[in-house]
Amino acid sequence: MPTQVLDQEVVTAPEGRRTPLLSRVGALVAGMVTTAKEALQGARVTEFYPEEHYVPFPRWRGRHVLRRHENGLEKCVGCALCAAVCPAHCIRVIGAENTDSNRVSEGERYAEVYEIHMLRCIFCGFCVEACPTEALGMSGEYELASFSREMTLYDKGRLLEPVPINDGKMTGD
């Protein structure tokens, strides 16, 4: 029975807790055999990425999108709640007043400057949840790589959805 001296006291390990070396090695070998079988006989999973794109789950939090109303006006009213709730501090919003000659959104205000620094973003989705007008959303786009740091600063032009086309086919009938 192994003994160890601690402060002039003799401590012995109980008989039930000791395992022989042979059983430990046997368990290790059994695990390695299982791993080898799976590696050699298991199903092959290969992604041909550039040719076949991965389709993310519906709730995937990808690239940010600023939404518009059906009439083409922006939904964002420049309240900056998204910037306030962002734990990474990657959103910058500067609001401005709407005028009758320059109507950008349906509210009294609009976001004159809206920027998201994508290198800082942790894609948590807090900004989407905080938006009172549901102007900010996250798309399923996941290919966000770029060759320069400047390209990772998404301004309002890159974030806005395109203006809906009214070709007369969309009627309320």
Give which of 89, 90, 95 is closest to 77, Cα–Cα: 95
Q: Is residue 111 part of a domain?
A: yes
Give which of 100, 110, 164 is closest to 135, Cα–Cα: 110
Q: What is the pLDDT of residue 7?
A: 57
Q: What is the pLDDT of residue 98?
A: 92
What is the extent of the structural domain holding 95?
64-159
Q: Is residue 53 part of a domain?
A: no
Q: What is the pLDDT of residue 152?
A: 94
Exposed / middle / buried, residue 153 (Cβ in 10 Å: 0-12, 13-18, 19+):
middle
Q: Is residue 4 part of a domain?
A: no
Q: Is residue 150 part of a domain?
A: yes
Q: How many whole angstroms separate alpha carbon 49 and alpha carbon 68?
A: 32
Q: How many whole angstroms separate alpha carbon 32 and alpha carbon 30?
A: 5
Number of domains within the chain: 1
Q: Is residue 125 part of a domain?
A: yes
Q: Is residue 27 part of a domain?
A: no
Q: Is residue 130 part of a domain?
A: yes
List the CATH number of the domain containing 120: 3.30.70.3270
Average pLDDT, the chain: 86
Kindly report the length of the chain: 173
pLDDT category of residue 84 using cuts at 50, 70 and 90: very high
Q: Is residue 109 part of a domain?
A: yes
Q: What is the pLDDT of residue 8?
A: 63
pLDDT at position 13 over 70: no
